[in-house]
Homo-oligomer: A and B are copies of this chain.
Amino acid sequence: MDVRIQFTDQKIGPSNPATTDGAGAVVEFLGVVRGVERDAKISGLVYEIYEPMADRMVRRIVEELDASYPCLTFQLVHRHGFVPVGEAAIHLRIEAPHRTEAIRMLEHFMNRLKTDVPIWKSGFVPC
Contacts and interface: CB of A to CB of B under 8 A. Distances in A.
Sort chain A's interface into a size bin. Answer: 20 to 34
B24 A19 contact: no
Interface string A30-43: 11111100000000
Contacts of A99: 29, 31, 110
16 contacts: A19-B30, A19-B32, A19-B86, A19-B88, A21-B86, A24-B31, A25-B30, A26-B88, A27-B27, A27-B29, A27-B30, A28-B28, A34-B97, A103-B106, A103-B107, A103-B110
Interface of A: 14, 17, 19, 21-35, 86, 88, 97, 99, 103, 106-107, 110
